[in-house]
Structure formats: C-alpha cells, structure tokens
Amino acid sequence: MTMSEIKLSEIIGGGYDDFWSCEKRYRVLKGGKGSKKSATTALNFIFRLMKYEGSNLLVVRQVMNTHRDSTFAQLKWAQERLGVSHLWKNTVSPMEMVYTPTGQKIIFRGFDDVLKLASTTVPTGYLNFVWIEEAFEISLEADFDKLDLSVPRGNVEPPLYKQTTLTFNPWSGTHWLKKRFFDTESEETATFSTNYLINEFLDDTDRAVFERMKKQNRRKYEVAGLGNWGISEGLVYENWTVGKKEISKDEQYKWKSFFGLDYGYTNDPTGFVAFAANPIDKELYIYREFCKRRMLNCDIAEEIKRLGFAKERIRADCAEPKSNDDLRRLGISRITPSVKGRDSILNGINAINEYKITVNPDCVNMIRELSSYVYDDNAAENGKRLPKDSDNHLCDALRYAFEDVKRFHPRRESGEETDYRPDITESDFNGGWDI
C-alpha cells in the first residue's frame, strides 16, 4: 500500500486537521484521556517520515524505560493501522524503528539520561522531528531548554522542516508548559486542546466512564475528560517543588530514609515511595517510586529487591495483613503495618504539610498525584475536610511511612565524626538507617 492509497479520513477521524498539517516550530497539544491525541500523533509521524525522505524522529519521555509500553507500542500500532508495518523494522535493543526503504529512523530517549539525549544522531538525513510524549512529566523547564538547544538540528531544505511536538494531560495550571506556550503568543508556536468528545472511535461504554466521572468528580472530569487545565485550588499539598537534592557531608546527620507501600491490583495501582526526611530544617526529599497495576505480591517483592530496599523498614497498609505476611515470606522481612485510627489521615497530612517537599523529576507518578490530590468539598468527618480518595496511592504510601519520621531524632555528638551514608551525597538516596 502506498501513501496515496491510504484513506486518512477513515483511519484518523476528525478533529485534528490543523494539528496534522501544522509546520510551526512548536506544536503543543493538551488533551484529556480518550481524546486520541497520542494515537493521532503516532499516525502523523509514521505518515510524515514516509512522506518526507530525509526526515527522522526523536521520541522523548522523562524516563527511558516507559517508552516500551507507550510510545513504542503506539507507533507500532500506527504502522499496522496505516497498513505499512511490512516497511518498518522495529527493535527493542536498541529501541528504534527503521523505515527500510530509506533507512530513516525513529529513536527513543529519556530525560533521565541527558548526555545520551543531547548526543543523539542519525546516519541518514536530518534529526528534524521531536516528539515529547507526556510532556507534563518534564517538570523542569531547564531540561526542555537543554533538549531544545540541541535537537532538532541541521539546516533543512524545503519541503523538510524542523518541529518539536509536545503532548500531555494538563494536570496543573501552574506547570511551566502553560506559561510558556499557552499564556504567551508566538509566531513559532501552535497550541491545540482536545478531549474525548471528538473521538468518534469510542463506544458507549467508553463514554459512560466519562459521564460517571462528570457526576462523581467534577474536578477530575475537567482535566481528564475535557482537557482543561487543572485547578490548583484545594490541593492537599502545596509546598512542593521538583528538583534534585544535594546533601553535603556536614548535613548528613540531619537526614534519614523512609519507605511506604500501598497495595492495589486491578483498578488501583500498587504504590511504593522512598523519601528522606530532615526534621531539623523541616525538609523532605522524595527520590524513588514505583506505581503499577496488576502486581502480585511476588512482583512487589522483586521490584523492592531490584531497587535495593529489601532490608529496609517499609510501612505498608495495615488493611492487607495477608499481603504483608507474603512479603515477609518473600524476603522483605521488615514490612511493618501502618497505624490507622481516629483522624489518622488528617493528622498525617498536617504533619507532612509542615515540611518543604522536593520531588526527584524521575518520580513522575508522585508529581502527577501531588498536582491533583485535592480536598473533597462534599466529604467531611466531624466537621473536617477530607481529601478525595482517588489517585492517591503514592500519597497514601508517603503518609504511612511518615509515621516513622517522628521517631528520628538527629544529633551530632560533640567531638565525634558524624556517622553518615556516603551514598547520600548526591541526588540518589540508596537505602537508610535502622530506626
């Protein structure tokens, strides 16, 4: 099948004509879930590379290992959808896609390896297209600037052109993406907003999900459904930023690592968080996470071991005693049930809110939760506002583990060398101390 034989209108559907043909330097698309933004973008890039000989594509996410089940799978689907998969060679190691008639490539990178990202090259043609998927995960505008200064590169001749495409869910109106691209007009930039209402491929059951969301959680519906900017009013945690925390040797005694686990399976993910707390200066640094659905207890144990935290005390949901026992049997010997009781949720939140929180940019799920974790105006207990009990699995794990922070009393003994962990001299905290 040739590109001229493809009936794009039947394959793509409506609502994306301007986005599809846009040739401006920056093409920025925000949208809700089910809006076919990722699918349309993937179709567009497969079409473009086959249309424009000499063009190549760099696909970027915050974390490299998230590509396989997202952008890589989506682009592979797009090849099949367009009926051209026989013209592409797709490999996982290295992760790349090659258009075999010409050798043009699609290359995948992560912001977690900046040096490899900046040095990306292609053997033929120009690296003129960039797609940043889930751009909301790129919490630091400076990281985007580093990429923007190096890729796309080269002096391209028409009909080729250079363009960076950013696609994302607009979870918070305070994100730098809004100020940079949506609040400031530029001849270089075209912005687009979309939602599930223009996706003619959704069936009635899909649309019913959004209708329930509209009735049950209007704030979430505005963002996840309609693709509007998230509203920061009512956030449970407001005093947080994204960045990497560097701890000097002299400050080591103030810090200790803590670990929390919240169980899930089908509808809700299992959430694990590792953070370091400094009760002297009231600082907290979240540096590791995992947040996955359909994890068996053996999978949870293996992931904790892989991260190097098997010997640490981990506060886990006390409502899952069987799972806690399973993890102990599987080698996570210091699993400790959380403490729940009267006002435990609000007390935990209030204690955490005394701290200034820094979140490592790699903790993309925690960033998303903190951006959308809000109080429920319709729920109250003894006259007190309660947070919405949704999309809060890492926040719950954080609160469980925070129970142990009050037991940590850092002190520097006079005339003695401070006992510190040398692996906590940079942004990576690999482990902790016994309580």
Q: Is 322 helix (H, G, I), strand (E, B) or coil?
A: helix
pLDDT tens per residue, the chain (435 residues)? Answer: 455 556 778 888 999 999 999 999 999 999 999 999 999 999 999 999 999 999 999 999 988 988 999 999 999 999 999 999 999 999 999 999 999 999 999 999 998 877 778 788 899 999 999 999 999 888 788 889 989 988 887 789 999 999 999 999 887 787 899 999 999 999 999 999 999 999 999 999 999 999 998 887 777 788 889 999 876 567 899 889 888 888 888 888 899 999 999 999 988 899 999 999 999 999 999 999 999 999 999 999 999 999 999 999 999 999 999 999 999 999 999 999 998 877 789 899 999 999 999 999 889 899 889 988 888 767 655 556 788 888 899 999 999 999 999 888 887 754 333 333 334 433 333 333 333
d(Cα 222, Cα 213) in Å, to the nearest integer? 9
Are 85 and 79 within 8 A, CB to CB?
A: yes
Residues 6 or more apart whose CB falls under 8 angstroms from that of 318 comprise: 324, 337, 338, 339, 340
Distance CA 152, CA 104 (A): 15
Cβ contact 361:285 at 8 Å: no
Alpha-helical segments (H) within 280-363: 297-307, 321-329, 344-352
* Domains with residue ranges and CATH for the chain: 3-225 (3.40.50.300), 240-424 (3.30.420.280)
The position carrying tokens 């850092």 is 410
**pLDDT at residue 368 in the model:** 86
pTM of the model: 0.70
**Which residues face 194 on adjacent strands?**
31
Amino acid identity, residue 188? E
